[in-house]
Amino acid sequence: MDVAVVGVGAFGRNHARVYRELEREGAPVRLVAVVDSHQERARRISQEFETAGFESLEQCLASGLTLRAASVAVPTLHHLKTAKTLMEAGIDVLIEKPVAASVEEVDELIHLAELHHRVAQVGHVERFNPAVRATVPLVSRPMFFEVHRLSVFIARSLDVDVVLDLMIHDLDIVLSFVNSPLKEIRAVGLPILSSKVDIASVRVEFASGCVANFTASRVSTERVRKLRFFQLQQYISLDYGRQDVLVFSVGGQGGALPSPNPDISVSKPRVLSEEPLHAELQAFIQAVQTRSRPLVSLIDGRRALALALEIVASIHRHREKIDIDQSGGARPSG
């Protein structure tokens, strides 16, 4: 099937790269076009991957190419317009995260996908991390999460808060593990090197009693991507970057790893290393071919976005309570 990538900045270029890799591996996919409003970028990426390049989606659609699917990796503010144009043209879409700029826009995307009978997947790529996939069968009733996603400062995606840039990955994962409505959100965050929130700490409580603590930073001195959770007689530690999982179980027998306590077994599930984006695009291709619901649907994207936006609002409410002076100090307003 013929595919295009719309928007070939950092994320979009990776989509183009992986589509081409899948094609060379024999997958039923062919990268036939890239689209970017920056003429030089469109030219450069099209040459790099030996495919057609266009400055606008309209030019691409008018070219006579028979597209079956497309990745949407334009800025979030343009997700709705771009995906709408594609779906109305009968083209299935994979929309990068966050799926849209507002919950109302996601609702419109859901309506459009149903109206035009389109497959629409959301690019929460960590769902396809081998460590996450190995953890899914282990989840029973998690009651406490501790999640850290820290990165060094890079001048990218500085037009959005760190919650929508980084933390949203972990929000999506935890929401997929916890089948319970939200009860309470408490959040704090600060701009450090940009005008948006660069570091945030969040506590989410679910109606089931489960509590999840999230920390996200794009101004760290080190890169950390870890999720840990506790359930009855078990503690599970997941490292996104290393793609490994450790399981500590009370009273377990035959743990594969040495344990400091004879009453606790330690095991390490087998994880087959794979680039998450590779698995994500493979799953998208399969969903398009089989006309099946994707692993990460628009409904999933809506849930993650809604929670992220509530967190951002909570952070801004907290910031309104304090007066941050230009010297970096903080004092109660009044």
Whole-angstrom distance, CA of residue 308 vs CA of residue 327: 29
What tens digit of pLDDT does each residue of 8-51 get? Answer: 999 999 999 999 999 999 999 999 999 999 999 999 999 999 99
Domain boundaries, the chain: 2-118, 127-274+309-316
Check for a shared fold between 2-118 and 127-274+309-316: no
The CATH H-level superfamily of 2-118 is NAD(P)-binding Rossmann-like Domain (3.40.50.720)
Find out whether 125 and 280 touch, Cβ atoms under 8 Å. yes
pLDDT band at 318 (very low <50, low <70, confident <90, very high): confident
Query: Among candidates 210, 267, 260, which has minimal Cα distance to 235?
Result: 267
What tens digit of pLDDT does each residue of 47-87 get? Answer: 999 999 999 999 999 999 999 999 999 999 999 999 999 99
**Fold annotation for 127-274+309-316:** Dihydrodipicolinate Reductase; domain 2 (3.30.360)
What is the DSSP code string of 143-202?
Answer: -EEEEEEE----SSSTTS-HIIIIIHHHHHHHHHH--S-EEEEEEEEE-SSSSS--EEEE
Q: What is the pLDDT of residue 327?
A: 42
Entry pTM: 0.91
What tens digit of pLDDT does each residue of 325-334 get? Answer: 434 554 444 4
Give me the percent of the chain exceeding a pLDDT of 90.
86
Sign, CA torsion 110/113/119/122 = negative
